[in-house]
Amino acid sequence: MANSPLVARPTDALQPPKSLPPSSGGTPSGGLPRSARGQQIAALARPTMDLMEQMNEDEKNKYIKGKKLGEGTYANVYLGHSRLDSSTQVAIKKIKVQKEYQDGIAPDAIREMKYLQKLRGHANIIILHSVFSSKDQNLNLVLEYLPLGDLEMLIRDVDHVRYGAADIKAWMGMLTRAIWWCHDNYVLHRDIKPNNLLIAADGEVKLADFGLARSFADPGVRMTANVITRWYRPPELLFGARHYSGAVDIWSVGLVFAELIIRAPYLPGNSEVEQIALICREIGTPTEENWPGVTQLKEYTVPSDVVPVAGKDKYMGRFGAVGSDGVDLLTKTLVLDPRRRITAREMLEHRWWKADPKPTPKHDLPKKTAGAEEKLAADLKRRNGMVEDDDVRGSKVARKLDFGTAR
Ligand code: AMP
């Protein structure tokens, strides 16, 4: 990783130099009166701050910013390249200054930096190369450039992009490994969906957008239920659970799996009530029998007609393209009771990966066609932005989170 003052060594730069005389119990030991010692510290600290600024300037000068690639809820993303080598491309995510936050930095940006640093080193997690601030105090995240769009583009471009079970197996393998890595490092992503799965030039799928991520090392801590884009949100969060686990991400992974197969969102609810109704209709009504304790959740309400939990036969009709083993794995990700839902590790041990067909090698996976981005943008407009789900992501929910306690 590049040596960024803001990412790599924030504390080093703020430490007073080691040559300062030690202080014991508030009594100056170097023979200087307290005020003189204070002045000495200030004088020594000043060059340290200048050094930080210089390091930030050096970091910023390593990159040249180019055209705009896209816009998210809290950032604009630009193409960039290394000043020394224009063939080394990066994506520069410039965080919008937000006055309502202390220091103007959205909590999403802080989460993204924190968790991308923590999860470094996995092939299926986007790389954060560096961070620097620009002259207007804007924070810039220098990310790995992923030029081949995202999984949503491929799923939707039914006219031009054809793919089969071997391709789905390859993409699902990459997604499952990414989630296993997050959970193994006690990080919940909390916004898994096809358009957060970006594609590298060599076909590798990378999990991106960690703006809603959080750590779940302490099981006793209450967390917000208001995360994950609605179509991919599990029943426990729809019922207001405040204690949850990696199972929330697994449900979303299952819905990405289903969407890859049918090439349309499987449970596209227009509201939370409709989302619950769709889950009940397609997967089954959560009851005390299939999910002990569910009726105690604060916002538990289900339609009065109880639908029994769907068996494998029902799924085979719609999702049979991935074979019996694939459908078995799918049904295990969509178990209503989060305690009985499959884990990422168990997913990786499932027999489907070893069954035929073998996953497509990443270089041979289908790629987006020219103009796919424009077409997708037009589609999204027609659907009134349903995919981005404004009431869930960013502007309202994430920013209400109390980042101080990293909820
Ligand atoms: P985000 O704020 O992460 O949702 O990014 C907004 C848009 O910028 C995305 O929908 C992509 O089109 C584009 N984008 C974000 N990150 C990258 C990246 N690393 N490489 C290429 N394009 C990106």
- Percentage with pLDDT > 90 across the chain: 67
- Spatial separation of the C-alpha atoms in residues 338 and 242, rounded to whole Å: 13
Neighbours of 64 (CB within 10 A): 13
Q: Are residues 116 and 228 in the same domain?
A: no
Q: Are residues 286 and 229 in the same domain?
A: yes
Q: Are residues 259 and 164 in the same domain?
A: yes
The answer to whether the CB of 268 is under 6 A from ligand 1 is no
Domain boundary among 112, 144, 176: 144
3-state secondary structure of 369: coil
pLDDT of residue 46: 61
Dump pLDDT digits (tens) for 270-306: 999 999 999 999 999 999 999 999 999 999 999 999 9
Range of the domain at 314: 151-406
pLDDT above 70 for 35: no
In contact, 69 and 79? CB cutoff 8 Å: yes
Domain boundary among 144, 159, 183: 144
Dihedral of the alpha carbons of 377, 264, 323, 165, in degrees to the nearest 10? -10
Q: Are residues 245 and 327 in the same domain?
A: yes
* Within-domain flag for 45: no
Q: Are residues 202 and 221 in the same domain?
A: yes
How many structural domains are present in the chain?
2
Tell me how far the alpha carbon of residue 179 lies from the centroid of ligand 1, in angstroms. Answer: 19
Nearest residue by C-alpha to atom 11 in ligand 1: 70
pLDDT above 80 for 329: yes
Tokens of 90: 């990066």
- Spatial separation of the C-alpha atoms in residues 340 and 360, rounded to whole Å: 30
pLDDT above 90 for 17: no
Domain boundary among 144, 160, 182: 144
* Within-domain flag for 333: yes
No. of helices (H) and no. of strands (E), the chain: 13, 11
Tokens of 304: 């009065």
Q: Are residues 183 and 319 in the same domain?
A: yes
77 annotated binding-site participant: yes
Within 8 A by CB and 6+ apart from 265, the residues are 231, 255, 259
| Stretch among 35-44, 163-172, 176-185 having the lowest mean pLDDT | 35-44
* Within-domain flag for 69: yes
Tokens 């959560």 locate to 286
Best residue for ligand 1 mutational test, from 65, 68, 69 (most atoms within 8 Å of Cβ): 69
The average pLDDT across 113-127 equals: 97
Domain with residue 85: its CATH number is 3.30.200.20
Whether 191 is catalytic is: yes
Question: Residue 183 — pLDDT band, cuts 50, 70, 90?
Answer: very high
- Spatial separation of the C-alpha atoms in residues 40 and 36, rounded to whole Å: 6
In contact, 76 and 67? CB cutoff 8 Å: no
Q: Are residues 169 and 67 in the same domain?
A: no
* Within-domain flag for 73: yes
Q: Are residues 117 and 156 in the same domain?
A: no
